[in-house]
Amino acid sequence: MEPCSWRALILVFFLLPLLTQGRTRHYKFNVVAKNFTRLCSPKSIITVNGRFPGPTLYAREGDTVIVKVANHVQENVTIHWHGVRQLTTGWADGPAYVTQCPIQPGQNYAYNFTLTGQRGTLLWHAHIMWQRATVHGAIVILPKRGVPYPFPAPHKEVVLVLAEWWKSDVEAVINEALQSGLGPNVSDAHTINGHAGPTSGCASSARDGFTLRVDQRKTYLLRIINAALNDDLFFKVAGHLMTVVEVDATYTKPFTIDTLLIAPGQTTNVLLTADQGAGRYLVTASPFMDSPLVAVDNSTGTATVQYTDAVSTSAIATTKLPPRNSTSLASQFIDSLRSLNSKQYPANVPSTVDHSLLFTVGLGVNPCPACTNGSRVVAAMNNVTFMMPTTALLQAHYFNMSGVFTNDFPGQPLIAFNYTGSGPNNTQTMNGTRLYRLPYNASVQLVLQDTGIIGPESHPIHLHGYNFFVVGRGVGNYDPATSPSKFNLVDPIERNTMAVPAAGWTAIRFRADNPGVWFLHCHFEVHTTWGLKMAFVVEDGKGPNESLQPPPKDLPAC
Ligand SMILES: *[C@@H]1O[C@H](CO)[C@@H](O)[C@H](O)[C@H]1NC(C)=O
Ligand SMILES: *[C@@H]1O[C@H](CO)[C@@H](O)[C@H](O)[C@H]1NC(C)=O
Ligand SMILES: *[C@@H]1O[C@H](CO)[C@@H](O)[C@H](O)[C@H]1NC(C)=O
Ligand SMILES: *[C@@H]1O[C@H](CO)[C@@H](O)[C@H](O)[C@H]1NC(C)=O
Ligand SMILES: *[C@@H]1O[C@H](CO)[C@@H](O)[C@H](O)[C@H]1NC(C)=O
Ligand SMILES: *[C@@H]1O[C@H](CO)[C@@H](O)[C@H](O)[C@H]1NC(C)=O
Ligand SMILES: *[C@@H]1O[C@H](CO)[C@@H](O)[C@H](O)[C@H]1NC(C)=O
Ligand SMILES: *[C@@H]1O[C@H](CO)[C@@H](O)[C@H](O)[C@H]1NC(C)=O
Ligand SMILES: *[C@@H]1O[C@H](CO)[C@@H](O)[C@H](O)[C@H]1NC(C)=O
Ligand SMILES: *[C@@H]1O[C@H](CO)[C@@H](O)[C@H](O)[C@H]1NC(C)=O
Ligand SMILES: *[C@@H]1O[C@H](CO)[C@@H](O)[C@H](O)[C@H]1NC(C)=O
Ligand SMILES: *[C@@H]1O[C@H](CO)[C@@H](O)[C@H](O)[C@H]1NC(C)=O
Ligand SMILES: [Cu+2]
């Protein structure tokens, strides 16, 4: 053979696959305690590498990521890569007792996964107890090398992590609530990149706060993440509009707004052009809560957009905060979201449905003689308050262990009632570790229906291992006879976390093409703790790459 053909062969069989397959990125996450003094009431917090928020994980679509997590604290730890599909690698997903036993003090575990078919912003966070309050950070997945964004290239990219800060230890907060049977204390501050901002009452100094420096007329890509535990947040930049281009690592049809809404676990990428006069502009993160019964942290987290030519002592331009109960503003934002649905990034919405499910989501009240009111607030899906097992569900599934879970999670409510009305007189729930089984590649339609038990409330529901399409949404009770006629099966938004509206419903569709055990839960941590969670078991397929991989050798044991 001619030497040049050899070279061509080397290119085709060796170099090209290397270029397109993506590289392997190694990260080391040391979970350590840190005395944190920047915010009000200095305290010891659990962090990754001593940082709050934690380090940003950068990769490209197609890359394999290996994160070695070493637990140097006294608590059990797990890390979840929120929104990463984890195709056949459920062992690396992270929720404690769902896909793995915890990494115990002194132990290590290497999370090993490949970023397939996703690009954009996601987040990682601890997935055990309330640890994710301080153990979280961004995941930035850049497009494959040479592939442009489907929007004008920004001058710079900036990660903005929104979170909640408690003066007390967070585990003490939830433990106190579990003892009393009542709701936990609300947080004391909202933060932006680990700062509460000068006006928050929770800052270390009058000059505290994250500052985003911008050049006039330049455009910035803001990668906004809501890492808060229990609060939906409105986000604004005084005097500026934002163009939404991506949510949960899927591209959207661009639309322009002055206020965006972001629920815990969601991410939103926006383009912001510095098109105002040189100056300083306030950035705000303030709560959205349209259920009057629910206590919420009313504080506003703030940051500053500062033009390079602005005088750093100049007055800051402020903005009118959205009312915390503004359902209309929230709905307007959610209704504006559409998948990009281009030739390159199509919306592959399942057009037929094999499993049509309706799950109620909401609260309940169970007897508790030792509690303050003789009862405790719990939460449930289809009236099942999920009990965490002491063996990981994925292990139990893979090794055919009996006695850990049952396969009888109800696909429909066992008792139908006026879900958004004053509700059943009996508000008790049942305990269970019940899962719902799906054959490989089944197409699923799931309607999540809020209940008015105790009071209606919005719930940001997150599905692990999948993206889903939000095909419909409405107020009141879902009506199988009339509601589907309004579904959008063309360009619905594709994401991994979406809010079920208070006293309303949301319908999602997905194809069960990822074998494993996948957690579905409210991303308000208080509701997850109370039992608003369940899991799907997705069986293996018959073809190559359609089976769950064997567990890694260093998978922690219980
Ligand atoms: C935090 O401060 C306390 C009291 O000063 C000290 O005992 C502890 O060792 C410090 N912890 C860390 C992780 O630095
Ligand atoms: C990560 O997973 C891949 C594919 O499953 C495997 O080939 C590789 O050896 C793993 N790497 C480590 C460090 O475990
Ligand atoms: C919760 O708030 C109450 C009332 O302010 C306070 O007495 C209690 O100590 C707080 N609990 C924790 C764990 O911070
Ligand atoms: C927050 O604001 C609402 C509405 O103004 C009010 O009803 C509520 O009591 C406030 N909550 C707290 C914890 O301050
Ligand atoms: C929102 O709360 C304010 C009081 O804080 C109240 O006047 C207003 O009616 C509420 N709006 C809605 C839509 O509930
Ligand atoms: C618990 O009791 C208090 C008064 O003791 C009452 O205000 C509150 O509504 C009760 N909460 C629930 C959830 O029953
Ligand atoms: C579990 O059961 C399935 C079906 O009976 C079988 O194919 C599989 O090999 C079993 N797995 C283990 C680890 O025993
Ligand atoms: C359900 O309850 C709501 C709120 O009370 C009420 O407006 C509605 O008419 C009820 N629906 C039915 C079918 O009874
Ligand atoms: C609840 O109890 C009331 C009073 O006993 C009764 O009128 C009503 O029909 C009951 N509602 C339901 C949904 O059972
Ligand atoms: C929920 O389960 C409890 C306990 O089994 C039962 O008493 C109650 O009627 C059920 N409620 C609904 C709405 O299914
Ligand atoms: C349900 O589980 C809780 C928490 O483990 C327990 O306190 C309660 O007694 C259980 N309820 C029933 C009806 O088994
Ligand atoms: C840590 O996890 C192990 C394994 O599940 C469990 O036995 C132990 O009780 C946990 N420790 C704490 C402090 O929760
Ligand atoms: Cu919830």
Q: What angle do CA 197, 293, 413 make, to 5 degrees?
A: 115
Per-residue pLDDT of 440-456, as tens digits, reads: 999 999 999 999 999 99
| Nearest-angstrom CA–CA distance, 96 and 92 | 11
Q: What SS3 class is residue 436?
A: strand
Q: What atom of ligand 8 comes closest to residue 421's alpha carbon?
A: 2
For residue 291, give Cα distances in angstroms to 6, 217, 435, 528, 555: 69, 40, 30, 18, 42
Residue 351 Cβ inside 6 Å of ligand 7? The answer reads no
> Which pLDDT value is given to residue 90?
98
Residue 400 Cβ inside 6 Å of ligand 7? The answer reads yes
> Which pLDDT value is given to residue 410?
98
Q: Which residue has a Cα nearest atom 10 of ligand 6?
A: 373
- How far is residue 10 CA from its own chain's centroid? 43
> Which pLDDT value is given to residue 446?
99
For residue 53, cis peptide bond before it (omega within 30 degrees of 0): yes
Q: Are strands 219-226 and 57-60 parallel, antiparallel or unpaired?
A: unpaired
Q: What percent of the chain has pLDDT over 70?
A: 96
Mean pLDDT computed over 16-39 = 86
Domains within the chain, CATH numbers bracketed:
21-142 (2.60.40.420), 156-336 (2.60.40.420), 355-546 (2.60.40.420)
| Nearest-angstrom CA–CA distance, 191 and 209 | 9
Token pair for residue 431?
A: 């305990």
DSSP 3: H
Residue 424 Cβ inside 6 Å of ligand 9? The answer reads yes
| Nearest-angstrom CA–CA distance, 367 and 374 | 6
The answer for residues whose C-beta is within 8 angstroms of residue 74's C-beta and 6 or more apart is 105
Residues 49-74 as b or e (16 or more Cβ within 10 Å = b)? eeebbbbbbebbbbbbbebebbbebe
Using pLDDT thresholds of 50, 70 and 90, give the confidence band for residue 5: low
> Which pLDDT value is given to residue 141?
98
Span of 211-225, 415-429, 465-479, 518-532 with lowest mean pLDDT? 415-429
Token pair for residue 204?
A: 């270390």
Q: Are strands 435-438 and 468-475 parallel, antiparallel or unpaired?
A: unpaired
Ligand nearest to the CA of 424: 9
Q: Residue with structure tokens 């909640």?
A: 164
> Which pLDDT value is given to residue 1?
46
Q: What SS3 class is residue 383?
A: coil
Number of H helices, E strands in the chain: 6, 33
Token pair for residue 484?
A: 């589907």
CA dihedral sign, ordered 235, 473, 518, 60: negative
Mean pLDDT of the chain: 95
The answer for residues whose C-beta is within 8 angstroms of residue 557's C-beta and 6 or more apart is 101
Kindly report the backbone phi and psi dihedral angles of residue 99, in degrees, each rounded to the nearest multiple of 5, phi listed first: -110, -10
> Which pLDDT value is given to residue 201?
79
Ligand nearest to the CA of 385: 11
Q: Does pTM top 0.85 for this prediction?
A: yes
Per-residue pLDDT of 291-337, as tens digits, reads: 999 999 999 999 999 999 888 778 999 999 999 999 999 999 999 99
DSSP string, 399-428: TT-SSS-BS---SS-SS---TTTT--S---
Q: Residue with structure tokens 């219980």?
A: 558
Instruction: Evaluate if residue 6 carries a pLDDT over 80.
Output: no
User: Per DSSP, what are the bridge partners of residue 121?
Assistant: 140
Residue 422 Cβ inside 6 Å of ligand 9? The answer reads no
Mean pLDDT computed over 203-224 = 92
Token pair for residue 295?
A: 């206590």
| Nearest-angstrom CA–CA distance, 38 and 315 | 24
Q: Are strands 533-538 and 516-522 parallel, antiparallel or unpaired?
A: antiparallel
Ion ligand 13 nearby residues (CB, 5 A): 459, 522, 524, 527
Residue 368 Cβ inside 6 Å of ligand 2? The answer reads no
Q: What is the 3-state secondary structure (H, E, C) of 489-503?
A: CCCCCEECEEEECCC
| Nearest-angstrom CA–CA distance, 141 and 281 | 29
> Which pLDDT value is given to residue 309?
86
DSSP 63: -
> Which of 231, 232, 298, 321, when mutated, tests ligand 4's pocket best, judged by the most ligand atoms within 8 Å of its CB?
298
Instruction: Evaluate if residue 14 carries a pLDDT over 70.
Output: no
> Which pLDDT value is given to residue 482?
98
| Nearest-angstrom CA–CA distance, 257 and 140 | 23
Per-residue pLDDT of 109-133, as tens digits, reads: 999 999 999 999 999 999 999 999 9
> Which of 32, 34, 44, when mutated, tests ligand 1's pocket best, judged by the most ligand atoms within 8 Å of its CB?
44
Per-residue pLDDT of 393-441, as tens digits, reads: 999 999 999 999 999 999 999 999 999 998 799 999 999 999 999 999 9
Strands (E), 249-354: 250-257, 259-262, 267-273, 280-288, 301-307, 316-317
**Cβ-contact 500, 458 below 8 angstroms:** yes
> Which pLDDT value is given to residue 510?
98
**Cβ-contact 85, 466 below 8 angstroms:** yes
Q: Residue with structure tokens 């501050």?
A: 189
Question: Torsion-angle region of residue 265: left (phi > 0), alpha (psi -120 to 50) or beta?
Answer: left
CA dihedral sign, ordered 526, 527, 531, 533: negative
Q: What atom of ligand 7 comes closest to residue 400's alpha carbon?
A: 1
Per-residue pLDDT of 288-301, as tens digits, reads: 999 999 999 999 99
> Which pLDDT value is given to residue 335?
97
Among 57, 58, 59, smallest CA distance to 22 is for 59
